[in-house]
Amino acid sequence: MKSKPRFQLGYFKPLAVLVIGTALTPWMSAAAQSIPTFSADVAPILFEKCASCHNPEGIGPMPLLSYAEVKPWAGLISYKVQAREMPPWHLDKTTGIQNYQNDVSLSDEQITTIVSWVESGVPEGDPASMPPQPALPKGNDWQTAELLGPPDFVVKSPPYTVTANAQDQWWLRNTTFEGLIDGPRYIRATELKGSYPLGVKVLHHGHATLVSYDENGNRAAGPVGRQGVGKGGDQFPDGTGMLVYPNGEITWNLHYFPIDQVVANEQAQAAVWLYPKGYEPEYQTRGEQFFAADFGPGGLWANDIILPPDSIKSQQGVRVLNRAALITSFRPHMHMRGRAQSLEAVYPDGRREMLSRVDKYNHSWQISYKFEDDVAPLLPKGTMLMITTTWDNTADNPNNPDHRQWVVFGQRGVDEMSHSWIGITYLNDDQFERLSAERRGRLTAQNGQ
């Protein structure tokens, strides 16, 4: 019988296991440490980017404030963030301006963290590593009040009962405006919302527009509230205001999406924050303004929209600025067949620049994309704004209620529209030159030149 080789591994197996195990221990420890956990890695992302909607009083369908609340939805969360469906931010990240004050989108690193956490079995980690719970506004609070305090006044729409489980409902009414101010004043911020708790669930988007007059018949017009799901209030830049006189009329243009219960006597509310009495801002604005996206100079209010069944169609409209302007926000508006909309500037010298493009439009969200101050378009007089809209009336559009239908212009969600709401302040020549020079100076200083 042959004897075993003297140095066969079997003689040293316990020692080999010990040596190999010792060598692997640091590697295994490092690997374990690299696996994201909910407490240390995922919760901070959710609290920063998701909790404002996903809380007990928010519009999100489930709260995401604890490990127990998040775990059952982990797979869906991973899918939604990889598809960039959540958080809702529908801008094309390959073109146009990319710096926005209200950007809620996730970075590639944040998406990788969430996906890796789910693929690793959703470990909770050490609960002591959890960040503090975010400070969240209550459902009936004004968001703008966090920055400016209570509003100076609040106006309400006439009551309207939203029926249950019905088609979307568009509603237009007027109310008088009087007795709230005793002389000309300048608005610095506005916010519109449905009443709490059910009105905020059914008011999809809406506008409250004030036409006011002073005792001499001078007229001022502009919004005292623009609302949309995913859109907060509107605060004008420092030193910019909208003039309002003591008496006038408010037009309420409200679009409701019913839920599974009746919302009786719903009254939308518009809150207004004023500059101090006697203050006159250097820059005057009419607030977020309507720009139609149709053929012809200035737009034709989209009355010629005709979308055949199973079709994809694009349309352009232009508006030439007869004054220099500062654009502070861009908010596309289409309905369920909307796919994309872009805003371009064609300068007087012929140069063409993409300012902003939404390529994943979703009618469920009405997001106003607010430019960072130093990239907000400063456009000289004579610039042409070009709005390009694309609709998808095919079965590939998941939001399309019926790709077999001819679709025309209309107020219902199943009809179509095409326009933009653009935050714009018109400037005189001196203001334009000064703002341009100041911006160049700041950018030069930032670049160390």
| pLDDT tens readout for residues 396-428 | 999 999 999 999 988 888 999 888 999 999 999
Q: Which fold has domain 288-437?
A: Jelly Rolls (2.60.120)
pLDDT attached to residue 4: 40
**Is the dihedral angle over the CA atoms 426, 431, 433, 436 positive or is it negative?**
negative
Contact 345, 352 (CB under 8 A): yes
Question: How high is the pLDDT of residue 128?
Answer: 96
pLDDT confidence of residue 446? 82
Domain range summary for the chain, segments of one domain joined by +: 33-129, 158-283, 288-437
Instruction: Retrieve residue 28's tokens.
Output: 């295994």
State the Cα–Cα distance between residues 201 and 206, nearest whole angstrom. 13
- 104 vs 53, 133, 172, 335, 425, CA distance in Å? 12, 18, 32, 23, 25
Q: The domain at 158-283 falls in which architecture?
A: Sandwich (2.60)
- Residue ranges in the chain whose pLDDT is less than 70: 1-33, 293-303, 449
At 59 the pLDDT is 85
pLDDT in tens, 327-345: 999 999 999 999 999 999 9
Element (H, E) at 332: strand 324-333
Residue type, 108: D
Contact between 114 and 108 under an 8 Å Cβ cutoff? The reply is: no
Cβ-based neighbours of 445, under 8 Å, separated by 6 or more: none
Q: What is the pTM of this model?
A: 0.87
Give the per-residue pLDDT at 219. 95
- pLDDT, residue 32, reads 54
Please give the pLDDT value at position 302: 54
